[in-house]
Copies of this chain bind each other. A is one copy, B any other.
Amino acid sequence: MKSAMKPDMSVNLAGMQLRNPVITASGTFGYGEEFAEYVDMESIGAFITKGLSLNARAGNPTPRIVETPGGMLNAIGLQNVGIDAFIAKKVPYFRTVNTPAIANFFGNTVDEYAEMARRLNEIPEVSALEINISCPNVKQGGIVFGTDPDCAASVVSACRAVTGKPLIVKLSPNVTDVVAMARACENAGADALSLINTLIGMAIDLNKRRPILANITGGFSGPAIKPVALRMVWQVAKAVKVPVIGIGGIMNAVDALEFMLAGASAVQIGTASFINPGAAQKIAEDMEAWLVANGIDDIKSMIGALES
């Protein structure tokens, strides 16, 4: 045991060198600045913005959130400031922190996705792009891009064509075959895959006889979904060559390290930041402490190290 040594926590993600593998997940960390009081931004590997679109979106009516056993549903409706206000009001903060900012974005057509990728590509403060493909394709009867390999591939190709920045594709878990989706995105030019986005869930108020969320269904996140996320990360990491980022119900360093054993090169912290705004920093610190206690000198040796 070399317990006195400081382990190497850095990972390389599609060409980005991260100081550690802990990234805050889209939609759960605002535009970064909201958490400045709780997280030393230079203690985490990277942070991801709320999902961005060409025009500002106001989102869904309320209620937008409901707690479920061990998890929560959200139907925020992709509320965001839009690309212009993002550049004007949010990007300046990115210059003040020495940590990569990753822009998460979406569109309703392939063209909108490509246009967003083009716009984001021009922002030097944005280190990488994460495509949220869990959105309906308005031109194809509302089929969700992320549930059809061809749809997803066309989005990824179109974005790939307009950006040289690292391109992460965020996979939806609401599919029969997540490996087929992963391969389609890899072949279309993704530099990395992140998974999972939220499952689709619903909650009902018995006394009011109504769905609790104004939107009826919502995205299901939190510790409850961890077993599904871990399984999908393991399946995808075995099947693709690009790095995989594990997401889903990570609440602590043990959870994060389990995702790395399953094959993730990095992890994203989502719902945990709501419960504990300092969660991401604490997880990064505790992961390092775990490595020290176990005499492991490089976090990279954990990636895919599951014996089975």
B-binding residues in A (CB < 8 A):
68-71, 73, 147, 174-177, 199-204, 206, 208-211, 216-217, 220, 222-228, 230-231, 234, 249, 251, 254, 257-258, 261-262, 305-308
Contact = CB atoms under 8 A, between A and B. Distances in A.
Nearest to A66: B227
Contacts of A261: 204, 206, 209
21 contacts: A68-B226, A69-B222, A69-B223, A69-B224, A70-B70, A147-B177, A174-B176, A175-B176, A199-B228, A200-B228, A201-B228, A201-B230, A202-B230, A202-B262, A203-B227, A204-B262, A209-B306, A209-B307, A216-B308, A220-B227, A224-B225
Contact of A204 (B69, B220, B225, B230): B230
Given A69-B70, A71-B227, A209-B261, 16 more contacts: A69-B222, A69-B224, A69-B249, A70-B224, A71-B224, A175-B176, A201-B228, A201-B230, A206-B254, A209-B305, A209-B306, A209-B307, A210-B307, A210-B308, A216-B308, A217-B231
Given A230-B203, A257-B206, A211 B69 contact: no
Contacts of A201: 227-228, 230-231
Residue among A231, A306, A307 facing the most chain B CB atoms (10 A cut-off)? A231
A200 to B, nearest CB: 6
Shortest Cβ-Cβ A-B pairs, 4 listed: A201-B227, A70-B70, A69-B223, A224-B224
A203 to B, nearest CB: 6
A262 B216 CA distance: 11
A237 B122 CA distance: 48
A243 B117 CA distance: 46
B68 A227 contact: yes
A258 B205 CA distance: 7
A306 B70 CA distance: 24
Contacts of A254: 206
B308 A202 contact: no
Contact of A73 (B227, B249, B251): B227
A279 to B, nearest CB: 15
A249 B69 CA distance: 9
Contacts of A224: 69-71, 224-225
A288 to B, nearest CB: 15
A69 B71 CA distance: 9
A177 B142 CA distance: 13
Contact of A234 (B199, B202, B209, B220): B202
